[in-house]
Amino acid sequence: MYWWHLSAYIATETSLSQLRPKVYSFNPKIVKGFKKSYPSLPKTDRIDAWVIADRLRFGRLPAECYHDEKYQPLQRLTRFRYHVIKQIAEEKNYFLSYLFLKFNTFNGIFSDAFGAASTAVLSEFYSVDEIAAMNLDDLAAFLHEHGRGMFSDPMRIADSLKQAATNAYRLDKRTLEPVNFILASTLKNIQALEAQVKSIDHAIAKEITAIPNTLGSVKGLGPVLIAGIVAEVGDVSRFADQAALAKFAGLTWTIHKSGLFEAEETRLTKTGNPYLRHYLVEAANSLRLHNDEYRAYYEKKYKEAKIHHHRRAIVLTARKLVRLIFSLLQSKRLYMPKVGVF
């Protein structure tokens, strides 16, 4: 946040407008790496400013800072959503680590460890001994009730749960009490954050209506995903082509080659806008589920991958999506799916 006010001032100050200033924001690690080419330079504020200026003169600059008040409210909301989603992921990982302490054989019984039936089991049974001792019919009825009738065979799940509880490692009572407390508290945090996401999504859906675009014509793209992309792209005309937009998002790959050797495994550069990259990957994941063209492309790339099948296929699908996003925002046309062309 420290750079924002200065960059906004330089970009919007009327007394500087006649100079037509261009504002760039550098990641500090880029300047730090550049300074290594001057090994004898001391560390002072004045020298640091000179190194930054010399890096600017060197060229090969990133995309300019974009200050358009039309997109700022939406960008603040979508970035806040990204922050909350990361918090939920961290809380879930923390919860699962303590779940393993309490019930180390629990994994795989439920398709979603945070579903209604699963959380009811973890919340209402003090220990695995209580589950193991419970009557099978009563346990099946418990799962049917808390699973809201969604289980096709609650008796089978109840039997698996009892078997897992019988085989589970037993914690001593002194340790079990704080573990239960931590699990209950963490679960409340997750539920509160998920409720917050719903409120944020409502605010985002309201804000995106002020920015006309044709991305909604793409089957699989909802208002939140569209907002996350539009808020970071802004005016698409500031990008020379779709490749420049992909580079801005960090959806480019490094090349490792020397002589006749060329590495088969290449990594994402990940030096671009992390928020845009997040929403593009999430959008790609949604499209593989709801859009025939992108589902076929994802499946093709999934089969081609030798390792990390899903991760590679989903990122390549996101890269394909960049071309569509650039085209639709530039032309303002509706999406016309291509049949049989991937």
**Residues 86-115: tens digit of each pLDDT:** 999 999 999 999 999 999 999 999 999 999
Q: Could you tell me where in the chain the CATH 1.10.287 domains are found?
A: 74-205
pLDDT at position 249: 93
Beta-carbon contacts of residue 160 (< 8 Å; ≥ 6 apart):
109
Burial 9-47 (b: 16+ CB within 10 A, else e): eebeeeeeeeeeeebeeeeeeeeeeebeeeeeeeeeeee
pLDDT at position 11: 84
pTM across the whole model = 0.84
Dihedral class, residue 42 (left if φ above 0, else alpha if ψ from -120 to 50, else beta): beta
How confident is residue 2, by pLDDT bands cut at 50, 70 and 90?
confident
Q: Encoding tokens for residue 210?
A: 């002020």
Q: Encoding tokens for residue 310?
A: 């899903």
- Of 3.40.50, 1.10.287, 3.30.1360, 1.20.140, which CATH number belongs to 74-205? 1.10.287
Residue with tokens 């393993």: 100
How confident is residue 256, by pLDDT bands cut at 50, 70 and 90?
low
**Mean pLDDT across the chain:** 91
How confident is residue 260, by pLDDT bands cut at 50, 70 and 90?
low
- Over residues 59-64, the mean pLDDT reads 78
Which pLDDT tens digit goes with each residue over 289-303? Answer: 999 999 999 999 999
In this predicted structure, which of 57-71, 91-105, 150-164 has the lowest mean pLDDT?
57-71
pLDDT at position 42: 92
pLDDT at position 261: 63
Residue 185 class from Cβ within 10 Å (0-12 exposed, 13-18 middle, 19+ buried)? exposed
How confident is residue 243, by pLDDT bands cut at 50, 70 and 90?
very high
Q: Encoding tokens for residue 149?
A: 């009738």
pLDDT at position 268: 73
Which pLDDT tens digit goes with each residue over 322-332? Answer: 999 999 999 99
